[in-house]
Structure 1
Amino acid sequence: MKIVIAGGSGFIGQSLSQLLLTEGHNVVILTRKDRKSSEKVEYVRWLEEGFSPEKAIRNADAFINLAGVSINDGRWTKSHQKQIYESRMKATDELLRIISLLPAKPSVLVNASAIGIYPPSKIAIYTENSLETASDFLGVTVQEWENKAKQVEKYSVRAVFMRFGVVLGNKEGALPLMVMPYRLFVGGKVGSGDQWVSWVHVNDVVRAILFAIKNSHLSGPINVTAPTPLLMNEFGKSIGSVLHRPHWLPVPPFAMKLVLGEKSALVLEGQQVIPKVLQENGFEFKFPTLRSALEDLL
């Protein structure tokens, strides 16, 4: 297939590109930087005046939208929140414009999303059928992002929303920061410890994206989380066990709020999210348990 990726140079985008190339697909990466294309990877400039990416893209089978300022970078000031929100809306608007102008439409737009659309809860179990939505910054951003991406359906293009959980990688994502205290022998529970962590290995994330592209009957939201969410305290114990480090020094909530501000909700609150759509459609997780994921990554 010929697959166009917006946000291809990011954490998930890099792993996704590698998977697609390994499987023999052709990759087009939308970029703001001038990069040299190769036989298998074509770089196309976008989101800048003077560039018309729609003229360079022909006969694409799928579009993948991972573009947007990372929610993990920096403190959530009002200006940073504005960047997180506006970068997603602007990129999605541009993808809709590009697709509208293509004579041959792609079959699908796979749009990034997040489990932050579900309200924090210690007792609820969320699947793609859950209708409750969070009213905080991340919840509203995700809802409006999905609603915008859904507009691609007016061009008879299938829309899929990949609701990512806490994505684990060995160099990027949440894991390096979570692991650091254990490497220094000061790891312990974060906050109350009884908040849910719905995690997923980055390898399973990119495999799930390709799975959604290949299975043409799938549309709408897909929870991209491992089938075994854990409480934060158990998550930390698993890190300590794999690294052979103690799990003993708690980090109180006020300390996290002091350091991270509003972003502290990402670690102090959580949701128990189940990947029902992936499971019911035969997707096999390569790393279904946290132990297997940590042993691979660490």
Structure 2
Amino acid sequence: MNVVIAGGTGFIGKKLTDLLIKQGHSIFILTRDASNKPVKSSVQYIEWLHKDAKPEENLDQVDAVINLAGESIGSGRWTHQRKKKILQSRLDSTRAIINLIEQLSNKPKVLVNASAIGFYGNSLNKTFTERSEPSENNFLSEVVTKWENEAEKASKYGVRVVFCRLGVVLDPNEGALNRMLLPYQFFIGGPLGTGKQWLSWIHIDDAIRMFSFAVCQSDIVGAFNVTAPSPSQMNEFGKTLAGVLKRPYYFPTPSFALRLLLGEMSTLVLDGQKVIPQKAISQNYSYLFPTLPSALEDLLKK
């Protein structure tokens, strides 16, 4: 297939691109600047998001579009300006994707748009599946709702639309796990906040495979939870991590300290939601790492 990727040079995008190439697909990565990009025989870089760019002129036949573009939510305090950038970057890139689809004479069969389990809000006792509505209104839920509403506009062109609602993606070098490792490496790991909050996680290898799965499975439509089938509470996660690292687990970090340090962004580690990937389970997606011990043992070996 010919697959167009926005955000193909980011954390998930780079690994997803490599996977799709191994699967035999041809990749077109949308970028602001196509110069000085690494040369790969199965990858073409197409310029977009500036006034002179006309990406549709270089895309004769597109089978699938994957949109991963957007400002990282975890790389700085959520100031008013930063929250605005987090939302606007997602809306702008998605609108540009819809405009591209509108311009293409041969429409893609599917748009797989990145999303997040932040849609569901936070809860200690509820279990969420793709059929669940948000339990509360907060910043992340608002961002995801507006983001998905923009992506849904592709359906008016006969395009199947999938929202890959990502959980916490575990990778040994980037993202949340890399930050969580530091206190354990100094033998001061322990529970964050109460430890009762849920962590709906996914191994990076399963995350990228689930995006590919969503592209290929024609009956997956709408919300698609990209999480492992066994979410864990933070206490369990920390104890498992300490066990794999052979480190102690007893220095708690109180909630108030994290809120002072991170501000509103502390919700990413202090609040959570128990999310079940019901569609992946019902579609018989085969997880490489369905359990937390297997995932952490693999990741920390790397």
TM-score (norm 1): 0.98
CA contact (8 A) 2:134 2:141 kept: no
Cα distance per residue 1:35-86 (max 9 Å; x no partner): 4454210001111121111111121110000000001111111111111100
CA contact (8 A) 1:117 1:134 kept: no
Partner in structure 2 of residue 237 of structure 1: 239
Moved more, 132-141 or 86-95: 132-141
CA contact (8 A) 1:110 1:209 kept: yes
Moved more, 180-189 or 131-140: 131-140
Alpha-carbon distance between aligned partners in 1 of 2:178 and 2:105, rounded to the nearest angstrom:
44
Alpha-carbon distance between aligned partners in 1 of 2:246 and 2:214, rounded to the nearest angstrom:
37
Cα distance per residue 1:146-203 (max 9 Å; x no partner): 0110000000000000000000011111100011110110100000000000000011
CA contact (8 A) 1:165 1:199 kept: yes
Give the Å deviation of 1:217: 1.1
1:100 to 2:102 alignment = yes
Compared with structure 1, are the counterparts of its residues 149 and 133 closer, same or farther at alpha carbon in structure 2 (3 Å cutoff)? farther
Partner in structure 1 of residue 297 of structure 2: 295
Give the AA of the match of 1:293.
A
Partner in structure 2 of residue 147 of structure 1: 149
Moved more, 72-81 or 271-280: 72-81
Alpha-carbon distance between aligned partners in 1 of 2:202 and 2:269, rounded to the nearest angstrom:
15
Partner in structure 2 of residue 10 of structure 1: 10
Alpha-carbon distance between aligned partners in 2 of 1:222 and 1:177, rounded to the nearest angstrom:
27
Match of residue 88, structure 1, among 90, 101, 104: 90
Moved more, 152-161 or 129-138: 129-138
Give the Å deviation of 1:131: 2.0
Give the Å deviation of 1:106: 0.3
Give the AA of the match of 2:197.
Q
Q: Secondary structure at the match of 2:265?
A: helix
Q: Secondary structure at the match of 1:27?
A: strand
Give the Å deviation of 1:135: 1.0
Compared with structure 1, are the counterparts of its residues 35 and 62 closer, same or farther at alpha carbon in structure 2 (3 Å cutoff)? farther
Give the Å deviation of 1:32: 1.4
Q: Structure 2 unaligned runs (5+)?
A: none
Matches within 5 A, 1:211-226: 211-226=213-228
Partner in structure 2 of residue 74 of structure 1: 76
Compared with structure 1, are the counterparts of its residues 41 and 154 closer, same or farther at alpha carbon in structure 2 (3 Å cutoff)? same
Matches within 5 A, 1:185-200: 185-200=187-202
Query: Over aligned residues, Cα RMSD in angstroms?
Result: 0.9
Q: Structure 1 unaligned runs (5+)?
A: none
Task: Tell me the number of residue pairs that the alignment of Structure 1 and Structure 2 aligns.
Answer: 298
Q: Secondary structure at the match of 1:282?
A: coil
Give the AA of the match of 1:17.
T
CA contact (8 A) 1:115 1:273 kept: yes
Partner in structure 1 of residue 19 of structure 2: 19
TM-score (norm 2): 0.97
1:164 to 2:187 alignment = no
CA contact (8 A) 1:134 1:140 kept: no
Partner in structure 2 of residue 262 of structure 1: 264
Give the AA of the match of 1:5.
I
Q: Which runs of 4+ in 1 moved over 6 A?
A: none
Identity across matched positions, percent = 49
Cα distance per residue 1:71-119 (max 9 Å; x no partner): 1111111111111100000000000000001000000000000000112
Alpha-carbon distance between aligned partners in 1 of 2:97 and 2:47, rounded to the nearest angstrom:
13
Moved more, 66-75 or 30-39: 30-39
Match of residue 48, structure 2, among 46, 49, 52: 46
CA contact (8 A) 1:44 1:56 kept: yes
Give the Å deviation of 1:133: 4.7
Alpha-carbon distance between aligned partners in 2 of 1:93 and 1:214, rounded to the nearest angstrom:
24
CA contact (8 A) 1:116 1:134 kept: no
Partner in structure 2 of residue 64 of structure 1: 66
